[in-house]
A and B are shown apart, each in its own frame.
Chain A
Amino acid sequence: MNQRRRRYLTGYLFLAPALLSLAVFTFAPFVVGFWNSLHAGFGSDLDFVGFENYVYMFESPRFWNSLRVTLLFTATYSIFSIMLGFLAAYALDHGKIRFKPIFSSILILPYVVTPAIATLVWQYMFNADFGILNGALVALGLDKVAWLQTPTGAMLSLIIVQVWFTLGYNMLLFASGLRSIPRTYYEAAEIDGVGIWSKIRHITLPLLVPTIVFIGVLSLMGGFVHSFVLAQILTGGGPFRGTEVLMLLIYETAFESFDVPMANAMTIVMFALLFTLSYLLNVWQERAYKGIE
């Protein structure tokens, strides 16, 4: 074996555990899941039905409602979480603030709390009759808000909690991105008399494109996949399916209705959508960042 082949072999050997793990725990379940989605029935008693599950799913108003809810939730919380995360990171990086590590720690704290427990605490806080939020509103002479008892209020509550969860982590990522921007760019801009907003627009944001895209992809994952715990515990998908995210519908289809093939069909569609959106973000990054780095 020549030296080049040996080097290749060594590389593949190092990659083997990761590839094997991906094959067994990601690719194989995906293929099996897709195959299962072409069937109807339960357990091993399955009949091949082709794409019937997909047709039924696309004709179902409940599926479209879940997709709408998921997209609305993901887009709204992502915008707020990214904007606030950036502002917090920028303020801590450029601002004259004392005790920066304390502020950073406070903002990152929600991310290290167990999501299920934190969501339960939020549920108590949002409680219309005995919750601390309405207690504060009443103390201020204002009316109670039915936070979780109307579709709009429930969606707003879901977004508030998700922004609270993710803001600190996004801030950390932005802080890391900000530190990688050479100070000389800002110094040169200051010599030219450039203001703060121009510096952000023409230096900071363009150089943060890879960070923004990375956070965008994470936010997509958060909105599509991790929203399940939040919606399940905080609102149960209600009221009136106003917060029934796609992952919750998939869970209920599989474990409440025992319709695993249909749940797999929904999962495949969700994966395709997630993959496409992530791909588009990466395409945008390549175009926006080309020539800047």
Chain B
Amino acid sequence: MPFATLRTLAAASTILLLQSAMAQDTFTIYWNNNHVYEAYQEVFDAFAADHGVEIDLQTFAWPDMRTKLLTDFSAQQGPDLLEVPATWITEFAGLGALRDVTDDIAAWDESSDWFEGTWTEVTLDERRYGLKLHHTALALFYNKDLFVQAGLDPEDPPETMSEFYATAEAIAEALGPSVLSFGFDTDPGYIIPFFASQETPFLIENGEIAIDTPAIRETLQILQDISDAGWALRPEPGAAYQATRRSFFEQRIAMILSGPWDIANLESLEADFDYGISPVPSVAGAGALSTVAGTAIAIPDDAEHPELAWDLMQRLTAVNVEVAATLETGMMMPRASWAEDERLAGVPGVAEFTPILGAATPFDIAARNLGIGDITPGGDVFEQLYQTIVYARGDVNAALEAYVREANRLIERASD
């Protein structure tokens, strides 16, 4: 080989070696594709500058992230920080895939500022595995314009299940069939507030399924009656999550259950109508009880930079960042001082959601912690009950009894 060629190769190798030596350390984050807010981007930029790292922000829709995480966890690799639905935290912790941050949280003087209930969602066997990032709940969203057209008072949404039925009937009679009164969701989890609002805040109590009550039987029957009457949108079982929302935005449905994440869509217009937010109706008109939702941030057990990740978690959940994110998107947050912040006065949804958030519970947390996802709203056993209510004219009581029987059997097996 000629000397000139050798010299060129040696020079190129040296440059490559120098480049790799000078290359910045990469800090990998998995994030939801809909949550890349400017408020968070600023935090990422400042964090990267302070620590001299390069941020590799990878965004995913939830199902894709779950697939990605399965392969990552199996291969004992993964990002430095991840944002996931809070319901995944204890499940992943049970698999040994998340870092225990109990001691970090205990040593952090700001941890007392968090809504106490938020810790339940990230705690397994008295150890904490993450921080809640968004703290949300489901409520009744209704189209005030359609209420007026149906001769209903737009400032008086239904509070009880019988009022809910009467409202659905009134809308169907006045505006149907081009407008449907209510929209069911593909995701069975969206029916849970109807359970929680019947003063049954948890799926499992005292080691048994707690939802077999007269109030819940009556509620489920009313929901099935509304579905059977043809007053509700019944999304196709495989339909995308957006199917029901899109119909609500297009004013083809008068009422849906949703959370704060849809406020930005409603404000920005996708929807050109006046809307209201109120607690989910209950048999007795119990009030603001609902089921908690939202996302959490956590550090995978195999993260390369766990200490840096903990620092970023604190930055992302600083009150100023939370407030900036709410002002930008309308999202609700888990800190007590966030709820009291004056800058949020007049932000759409905050006044309506604050009392609901305070009374919302992680409905199926015990089932998830026992590792029996099948009986949770995302699981196969629960789905049979949900589909009986929404799609079939089957006996609701029999379906509920079948669910309770199978769920109790699985609880007993998991508890042994």
**Is the beta-carbon distance between A128 and B234 smaller than 8 angstroms?**
yes
A43 at the interface (CB under 8 A from B): yes
**Is the beta-carbon distance between A235 and B70 smaller than 8 angstroms?**
no
Interchain Cβ contacts within 8 Å, total number? 81
**Could you say which residues of chain B place their CB within 8 Å of the CB of A35?**
none
Q: A255-B66, A260-B70 are in contact. Are A44 and B238 (CB under 8 A)?
A: no
A35 nearest CB across to chain B (Å): 14
Q: A44-B76, A62-B380, A240-B384 are in contact. Are A255 and B70 (CB under 8 A)?
A: yes
A125 nearest CB across to chain B (Å): 11
**Is the beta-carbon distance between B74 and A43 smaller than 8 angstroms?**
yes
A204 at the interface (CB under 8 A from B): no
Q: Which residue of A lies closest to B238 (CB)?
A: A236
Determine, out of A98-106, A148-156, A273-281, the stretch whose residues face the partner at the interface.
A148-156
Q: Please measure, in the bound complex, the distance between the C-alpha atom of A44 and the C-alpha atom of B387, giving whole angstroms.
A: 37
Q: Please measure, in the bound complex, the distance between the C-alpha atom of A129 and the C-alpha atom of B75, giving whole angstroms.
A: 45
B373 nearest CB across to chain A (Å): 7
Q: Please measure, in the bound complex, the distance between the C-alpha atom of A260 and the C-alpha atom of B95, giving whole angstroms.
A: 13
A233 at the interface (CB under 8 A from B): yes
Q: Please measure, in the bound complex, the distance between the C-alpha atom of A45 and the C-alpha atom of B76, giving whole angstroms.
A: 10
**Could you say which residues of chain A place their CB within 8 Å of the CB of B70?**
254-255, 258, 260
Q: A44-B76, A240-B392 are in contact. Are A149 and B383 (CB under 8 A)?
A: no
**Could you say which residues of chain A place their CB within 8 Å of the CB of B247?**
130
Report which of B95, B384, B391 forms a contact with A149, defined as CB distance below 8 A: B391
Q: Which residue of A lies closest to B64 (CB)?
A: A255
B414 at the interface (CB under 8 A from A): no
B237 at the interface (CB under 8 A from A): yes
**Could you say which residues of chain B place their CB within 8 Å of the CB of A43?**
73-76, 95-97
**Is the beta-carbon distance between B237 and A148 smaller than 8 angstroms?**
yes
**Is the beta-carbon distance between B387 and A233 smaller than 8 angstroms?**
no
**Chain B stretch 289-320: residues in CB contact (< 8 A) with chain A:** none
A282 at the interface (CB under 8 A from B): no
Q: Please measure, in the bound complex, the distance between the C-alpha atom of A130 and the C-alpha atom of B250, giving whole angstroms.
A: 12
Report which of B237, B384, B391 forms a contact with A236, defined as CB distance below 8 A: B237
B402 nearest CB across to chain A (Å): 12
B93 at the interface (CB under 8 A from A): no
Report which of B63, B96, B234, B373 forms a contact with A257, defined as CB distance below 8 A: B373
Q: Which residue of B lies closest to A45 (CB)?
A: B96
A38 nearest CB across to chain B (Å): 16
**Is the beta-carbon distance between B67 and A255 smaller than 8 angstroms?**
yes
Among B97, B237, B247, B380, which residue has the most Cβ atoms of chain A within 10 A?
B237
Q: Which residue of B lies closest to A255 (CB)?
A: B67
User: What does the 1/0 interface line of A245-282 toward B look like (CB < 8 Å)?
Assistant: 00000000011111010000000000000000000000
A222 at the interface (CB under 8 A from B): no
**Could you say which residues of chain A place their CB within 8 Å of the CB of B380?**
62, 241
**Is the beta-carbon distance between A42 and B391 smaller than 8 angstroms?**
no
Q: A42-B73, A239-B391, A255-B66 are in contact. Are A123 and B239 (CB under 8 A)?
A: yes
**Chain B stretch 233-267: residues in CB contact (< 8 A) with chain A:** 233-234, 236-239, 247, 252
Q: A240-B387, A240-B392 are in contact. Are A235 and B237 (CB under 8 A)?
A: yes
User: What does the 1/0 interface line of A8-33 toward B look like (CB < 8 Å)?
Assistant: 00000000000000000000000000
A242 nearest CB across to chain B (Å): 9
Q: Which residue of B lies closest to A249 (CB)?
A: B380
A251 nearest CB across to chain B (Å): 9
A92 nearest CB across to chain B (Å): 35
B180 at the interface (CB under 8 A from A): yes
Q: Which residue of B lies closest to A62 (CB)?
A: B380
B123 at the interface (CB under 8 A from A): no
A-B contact pairs, 17 of them (CB 8 A): A42-B74, A44-B76, A62-B380, A127-B236, A129-B180, A129-B234, A148-B236, A150-B391, A154-B237, A236-B238, A238-B383, A240-B387, A255-B67, A256-B66, A256-B378, A257-B373, A260-B70
Please report B residues at the A interface, Cβ cutoff 8 Å: 63, 66-67, 70, 73-76, 91, 95-97, 180, 186, 233-234, 236-239, 247, 252, 373, 378, 380, 383-384, 387, 391-392
Please report A residues at the B interface, Cβ cutoff 8 Å: 42-45, 62, 123, 126-130, 146-150, 154, 231-241, 254-258, 260
Q: A42-B96, A44-B76 are in contact. List 18 more A-B contacts (CB 8 A).
A: A42-B95, A123-B238, A126-B236, A129-B180, A129-B233, A129-B234, A130-B247, A148-B236, A150-B391, A235-B236, A236-B239, A238-B237, A238-B387, A239-B387, A256-B378, A257-B373, A258-B70, A260-B74
Question: Can you list the 5 inter-chain pairs with the closest CB atoms, starting with the nearest?
Answer: A238-B237, A236-B238, A148-B236, A235-B238, A43-B74
